[in-house]
Structure 1
């Protein structure tokens, strides 16, 4: 055995267990295991959870806020500023900022990320190229999925579709999309059609930024039903992820229900982005400002898989962030009013099991024999304390190897 973790709590109210790994997988999960290993960790009763996941993040845009701040805090200014900055992207600078973000992620217990680099005539393929290089560089510490993401649109930015295909041939593993960033509803539909056609050609999953607005008065921001029906018609159930989905939250329950039911039928996973969406959303509301949030509770109640992510880190879209899913989960629990013990457990599942499903890695994920040996040991005695304490990550383990460790000795002086 390569690693043996003793005296760890993986379920509250149940005995401590030992977890043994070999060749990157769990080979035993049981109390009082009689075995030895190349390395033994005594967790001393600390809680452990599966490795945390970030299913939606923009690496090459990170850490740009101080270079050109978004003074108005609006989505329009964020897009304008980012367009200027990404036209000046330099490979080594992108790599340096991305490494800072990935190092933050590792320290916070993240074991896999889905990165969404822009693919367009402004930035070219620098985000994809650097992302693939980083995936190789960091392969022992985390898994990095690369999305071919057409931020500037496909029809609106001629040549983008060919660049997306080139990105897939380079090694990008997901077909991205930004259908609302087209000029007309008809072009939004064509954008979606093009993404599905490309995904089918290359046998890749689809991950679209969709319905990112305060309301659905513009049909470009009410594309969820069209996307869900497209997934069903093409046999892509369970292979589509949608990020943001804030305008869905502006609908009355009776209006939202048929859309949500169709999302459930299409087995679409939803990624809510609470930090970005609540920061940018509702800016024009003079009274009863909207939260600008995906309707998490309604989706959950309908059986739709919902997860969450950091999205942007310290840039024009989100001036805060440190790639900590527990911090974002705590924020989401407040905003979405998910405070009961059952709700908090659900929020933790959103960052683990639900995120794994959305990223297409659910078959090898979890604290079970035969699964990939990824876990985070938290400096707290109960799993339920994860969102309450936001505890230090005592050990982060990827494929049975420790990638980060810290021990805190605290003393209060009175």
Structure 2
């Protein structure tokens, strides 16, 4: 074996076990493995688990909060501020800031990220090309799925349809969309599906990001998904409007989302910050209804979205911080609810991103993290140190260094 973890906990209420890794895969899971390895790690009862999966993040816009501030804290100003700033961002600047974020993700135990990379006529492909470059440069440390994301819309800007095609030809992994920020959300959705089918790619929408249920298109999107045979291949982020829908109607919409196999990314750090800015009292949470979606059979995930910019003026890239924020905000603090939160950072986003070789099972990729707590249930609550992070069996970060050792 290449590496063996001795006496680690992989499930509460069960004996400690050993986990052996060989050729980048989980090879053996068994107490008292008798074979030896080139490297052996004493787990001392600490939790070994699948590494975290970041399902929705904007790399190239991270850590620019100080350059052009959002004084009102509104979505409208965040979009305007960022649109002004983007043309001034250079390749070198984006490369440096994005690398910092990726380092933080790996240190925090994340080995997969879906990055929504923007382009438009005013900035060209500068940021998008950098994210493609980073995907290749750091593929041995973190897998990056690149989304071709038209933040400023498609049909309302000249040349964007051609840029969307060019982005796919450049090598984007996923077709992105933002129906609520275009001249017609239905036209927008239809075009994204046509492009995805042309290139054989999955789809990820910024969807229904508003405080009210007016102008929602999630039902149209779900029916379109089923019509096109794209069940299980579509994700949506935000979906905050669904939280404003009356309970009886919401049940029907959630059933439709479930039948379409659409995964939902709750983005609490951004949505709590930007949402309900017009409320003077009894201020709404303006979050997608995580518990209702989960109980309705929808694959629900927690993700970061933005880090220290006009959309989200805080954040570290640590998904455990996002989980701790979501627990009170989404009413996930009950004992039964708490047990479902860790999956929203691991197995659920892995499913959303189509990661077939993910998980702490024999034969799966050894993308693992050893954390400094002896209870799986305590991973969210304790915010434990990430003692060791593996990417396909290779150690890419340890707590012995205040950095990722592979960067």
- TM-score band by shorter chain is over 0.9
Match of 2:379 among 379, 386, 389: 386
Displacement of 1:164: 1.4
- In the alignment, structure 1 residue 374 sits paired with structure 2 residue 367: yes
Partners of 2:143 and 2:338 lie apart in 1 by 26
CA RMSD of the aligned region, Å? 1.0
What pairs up with 1:325-364 in 2 under 5 angstroms? Answer: 325-361=319-355, 363-364=356-357
More moved, 312-321 vs 113-122: 113-122
Match in the other structure for 2:50: 50
Question: Where in structure 2 are there 5+ consecutive unaligned residues?
Answer: 402-407
Match in the other structure for 2:93: 93
4+ long deviations beyond 3 Å: none
Partners of 1:25 and 1:123 lie apart in 2 by 41
Match of 1:279 among 268, 273, 288: 273
Partners of 2:63 and 2:189 lie apart in 1 by 30
Displacement of 1:120: 1.4
Match in the other structure for 1:402: 395
- In the alignment, structure 1 residue 269 sits paired with structure 2 residue 263: yes
Match in the other structure for 1:411: none
Match in the other structure for 2:249: 255
Partners of 1:3 and 1:385 lie apart in 2 by 25
Partners of 2:254 and 2:388 lie apart in 1 by 39
Match of 1:204 among 196, 201, 210: 201
Match in the other structure for 1:19: 19
Displacement of 1:23: 1.3
Match in the other structure for 2:172: 172
Q: Which secondary structure state, in structure 2, belongs to the residue aligned with residue 87 of structure 1?
A: helix
Match of 2:229 among 223, 227, 235: 235
Partners of 1:19 and 1:401 lie apart in 2 by 14
Match in the other structure for 1:193: 190
Displacement of 1:10: 0.4
Partners of 1:48 and 1:72 lie apart in 2 by 43
Match in the other structure for 1:79: 79
Match of 1:245 among 236, 239, 249: 239
Q: Which secondary structure state, in structure 1, belongs to the residue aligned with residue 346 of structure 2?
A: helix
TM-score of the aligned structures, taking structure 2 as reference length: 0.97
TM-score of the aligned structures, taking structure 1 as reference length: 0.95
Q: Which secondary structure state, in structure 2, belongs to the residue aligned with residue 347 of structure 1?
A: helix
Match of 2:309 among 294, 311, 315: 315
Displacement of 1:407: 4.9
